[in-house]
Amino acid sequence: MSAQEIIQRGLYYEEFVEEARYLHRPGRTATEADNVLFTTLTMNTQALHLDAAFAATQEFGDRLMNSMWTLSTMVGSSVAQLTQGTLVAQLGLGDISFPHPLFAGDTLYTESVVVSKRISSSRPGQGIVTIAHTGRNQDGTVVATATRTVLVHRLPEGSDA
């Protein structure tokens, strides 16, 4: 008996179902190292991310995770399930909000909902999908939301994928 090979991939255009909700697991526990590394790599000198003494005197009393780390991690956690190997391009991000802070030690859990989809009128064999991402901490509190529009491949002709 020969072994079956299965390659992990995202969804082709036809496999996206409007209003389907995807829960991306495992979650990702944010660390102080993540915050310092991401913040310094992106040249963001905001003291709320880097200076514990300063942050302790501010409204939240502690350093905040860089919101761009939160956004990147939230979107990134959806890739394996939704767009790995089927993405042509990310077309845009919108409706981004951070209604509650995320701190080192919090765990970010992401869910995604397919908002809409349409076949591309200018790119044969491809389709445009809009996905709403929501990030929650370990208590279920929403810490980030964003809408992402992606260009993905359609199923290859004659495919039974």
Looking at residue 7, what is its pLDDT? 83
What does the alpha-carbon distance between residue 145 and residue 136 come to, in Å, rounded to a whole number?
A: 9
> Which residue's structure tokens are 């529009």?
149
For range 88-105, the mean pLDDT: 97
Q: What is the largest CA-CA distance in the chain?
A: 66
CA dist 71 → 21, 118, 120 (Å): 18, 25, 26
What does the alpha-carbon distance between residue 11 and residue 154 come to, in Å, rounded to a whole number?
A: 9
What CATH topology corresponds to 13-153? Thiol Ester Dehydrase; Chain A (3.10.129)
- Is it the case that residue 2 has pLDDT exceeding 80? no
pLDDT in tens, 26-47: 999 999 999 999 999 999 999 9
What does the alpha-carbon distance between residue 148 and residue 143 come to, in Å, rounded to a whole number?
A: 17
Mean pLDDT of the chain: 95
pLDDT in tens, 101-139: 999 999 999 999 999 999 999 999 999 999 999 999 999
pTM above 0.85, yes or no: yes
